[in-house]
Amino acid sequence: MASTSNPDTHESPQKSVYKDPDDGRQRFLLELEFVQCLANPTYIHYLAQNRYFEDEAFIGYLKYLQYWQRPEYIKFIMYPHCLFFLELLQNPTFRNAMAHPANKEVAHRQQFYFWKNYRNNRLKHILPRPLPEPATAPSSAPPASLPSSVAPPAAPPPAPTPVTAAALSPMQYAIPPGSGLAKTDPRNASVDRRKRNRKDG
């Protein structure tokens, strides 16, 4: 007698749920690394050149990665520009524009200028400006004369104001102000050369 299987008598197998062996640590690290790679305009250009931005699944992945902007995840980001570029990559116009090398260079240059001037620009808005000192009229009474054997104490050098001391750029330490070394600017030299050629010729 052949047994026929009745679907009502057998229990359906339970759906197996995938369980990460490391509780998602590997996935977390991979996504963190990928998101931080987006801080590099050259990498974004590479993705655009290889047509990753034409794949709807990849665009969906970029939308999914926006969870890195939440406070519980943002504390792990070391390169905050990646979040700015991740936001820009949600725009199809930006994705298409990054396929062109000139746009990659513009993004890279703007990123460099931001890094170069970030500290100084931030300090301008954070540090309080010193109050202007009131002008005092010189006193008309002569100072009391000191015995000739006692020299007057030397006045301490004026302390730099907190704004000027803290606002110095790292580049300003290379050549001290007022030094005899001239700053060379190749742009100015070429302009002068062209002017001389026009006058001579």
Q: Give the per-residue pLDDT at 30.
A: 92
Tens-level pLDDT at each residue, the chain (201 residues):
455 555 555 555 566 776 777 778 888 999 999 999 999 999 999 999 999 999 999 999 999 999 999 999 989 999 888 999 999 999 999 999 999 999 889 888 888 888 788 777 766 666 666 667 777 665 555 555 555 555 555 554 454 444 444 444 444 444 455 554 455 545 555 555 555 555 554
pLDDT, position 201: 47
Q: Is 153 left (phi over 0), alpha (psi -120 to 50) or beta?
A: beta
pLDDT given at position 63: 94
Q: What is the pLDDT of residue 12?
A: 52
Q: Note the pTM of the prediction, 2 decimals.
A: 0.50
Looking at residue 115, what is its pLDDT?
A: 79
In this predicted structure, what is the pLDDT of residue 183?
A: 52
